């Protein structure tokens, strides 16, 4: 898709910016997502006691687990390989942080039954082995032969069940099952090309930071766990996909115009000359990006993690910096900077 116009949004170099403005009120407490509990010490101990397979009871739900000692992620550096048992434990422990982004949305699964080093496949429909307690949603607009019933991950056991299926990536819709035609997030996807360095991506993210400050827009970046950076922007109820797509496209065009050597608008990867793409096309019904705190299929089990804007200035920042072994330590100290934006009623401002 070709870009349209190039509004003037950037004022001053990105490296002069050191903050962002919060101009709209926080969401009403009634609109906040439900809270979810972490597994107890006894529940985690019972998982460790399973001899390769068995039934695990998590928060009252029974989860059938198999091949628990199978390696799903190769070791990274001096670390250890990550087994399915490790992934199940992580998904249960991360539930209080991850489920607010998943609990009321259809989800696409990227499954790797032979581990992250082998080819995976996409699974959109509810898996045939799903327990009766797993959340489901029937898409009233499903066309014949297309996915009609999706999984909805609304409890910690659902994350453990998906880990048992080797769903190494979870991709929720940007709209909820309450109003599937209206997104609650607008997304900016900084998609690196083969010649894009992480420093290039940080430059692009900082330019977005400056533009959002100029516009008074509240948003938060997220490292993808692989090579990229995404920016999540909460939008008010009633916002359409056409509006989020057009708005993000205009932002992308303006930013790309300031750094033409970094960005290509070619659709095909092989035609981009190794440059990054600012992919506004993810702002459409059924289009997804990886969920916060989802693992990615790479050695060490890296995780997609929301970060604060000022962390873009951290020389040690990397898109795959955190893994399942240390992301919970980060959350206990710093919390999740994206969580306060869930449900925020933010009207996207007009662009000049």
Taking residues 169-179, what's their average pLDDT? 97
Q: What is the rounded distance in angstroms from the CA atom of residue 220 to the CA atom of residue 217?
A: 10
Which helix (DSSP H) or strand (DSSP E) does residue 347 occupy? none
Phi-psi region of 212 (alpha: psi -120 to 50; beta: other; left: phi over 0): alpha
Supply angle C-alpha 241, 246, 250, rounded to 5: 150
Is the pLDDT at 270 greater than 90, yes or no? no
Q: What is the rounded distance in angstroms from the CA atom of residue 279 to the CA atom of residue 249?
A: 8
Q: What is the pTM of this model?
A: 0.90
Q: What is the rounded distance in angstroms from the CA atom of residue 20 to the CA atom of residue 224?
A: 22
How sure is the predictor about 3, in pLDDT bands with cuts at 50, 70 and 90? Answer: low
pLDDT at 23: 38
Domains of the chain: 14-32+180-341 (3.90.920.10), 41-172 (3.90.920.10)
Taking residues 257-284, what's their average pLDDT? 88
Q: What is the rounded distance in angstroms from the CA atom of residue 296 to the CA atom of residue 141?
A: 30
Q: 157 exposed, middle or buried (CB, 10 Å; 0-12, 13-18, 19+)?
A: buried
How sure is the predictor about 26, in pLDDT bands with cuts at 50, 70 and 90? Answer: very low
Residue with the bigger pLDDT between 117 and 32: it is: 117
Is the pLDDT at 15 greater than 80, yes or no? no
For residues 162-179, one letter each, b for 16 or more C-beta atoms within 10 angstroms of the residue's C-beta and e for the rest, the string is bbbbbbbbbbbbbbbbee
Mean pLDDT across the chain: 90
Is the pLDDT at 4 greater than 70, yes or no? no
How sure is the predictor about 172, in pLDDT bands with cuts at 50, 70 and 90? Answer: very high
Does residue 176 sit in helix, strand or coil?
Answer: coil
Does residue 163 sit in helix, strand or coil?
Answer: helix
CB 208 within 8 A of CB 231: yes
Is the pLDDT at 22 greater than 70, yes or no? no
Lowest mean pLDDT among 141-145, 266-270, 304-308: 266-270
């Amino acid at each position: 898709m070709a870009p349209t116009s190039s509004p003037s949004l950037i004022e001053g170099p990105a490296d002069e910016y050191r903050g962002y403005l919060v101009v709209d009120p926080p969401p009403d407490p009634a609109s906040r997502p439900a809270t979810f509990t972490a597994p107890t010490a006894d529940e985690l101990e019972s998982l460790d006691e399973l001899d390769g397979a068995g039934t695990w009871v998590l928060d009252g739900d029974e989860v059938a687990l198999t091949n628990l000692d199978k390696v799903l992620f190769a070791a990274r550096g001096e670390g250890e390989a990550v087994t399915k048992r490790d992934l199940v434990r992580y998904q249960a422990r991360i539930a209080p942080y991850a489920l607010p982004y998943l609990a009321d949305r259809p989800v696409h699964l990227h499954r790797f039954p032979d581990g992250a080093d082998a080819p995976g496949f996409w699974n959109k429909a509810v898996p045939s082995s799903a327990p009766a307690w797993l959340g489901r949603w029937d898409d009233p607009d499903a066309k014949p032969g297309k996915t009609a019933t999706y999984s909805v991950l609304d409890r910690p056991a659902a994350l453990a069940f998906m880990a048992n299926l080797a769903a190494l990536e979870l991709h929720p819709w940007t709209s909820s099952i309450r109003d599937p035609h209206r997104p609650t997030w607008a997304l900016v996807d900084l998609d690196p090309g083969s010649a894009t360095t992480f420093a290039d991506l940080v430059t692009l993210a900082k330019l977005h930071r400056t533009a959002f400050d100029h516009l008074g827009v509240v948003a938060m970046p997220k490292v993808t766990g692989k090579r990229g950076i995404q920016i999540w922007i909460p939008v008010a109820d009633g916002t359409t996909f056409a509006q989020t797509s057009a708005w993000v496209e205009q932002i992308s065009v303006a930013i790309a115009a300031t750094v033409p050597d970094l960005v290509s608008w070619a659709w095909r990867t092989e035609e981009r000359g190794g440059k990054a793409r600012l992919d506004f096309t993810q702002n459409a019904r059924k289009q997804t990006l990886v969920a916060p705190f989802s693992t990615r299929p790479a050695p060490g089990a890296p995780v997609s993690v929301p970060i604060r804007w000022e962390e873009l200035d951290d020389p040690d920042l990397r898109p795959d910096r955190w893994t399942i072994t240390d992301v919970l330590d980060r959350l206990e100290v710093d919390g999740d900077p994206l969580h306060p934006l869930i449900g925020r009623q933010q009207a996207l401002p007009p662009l000049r």
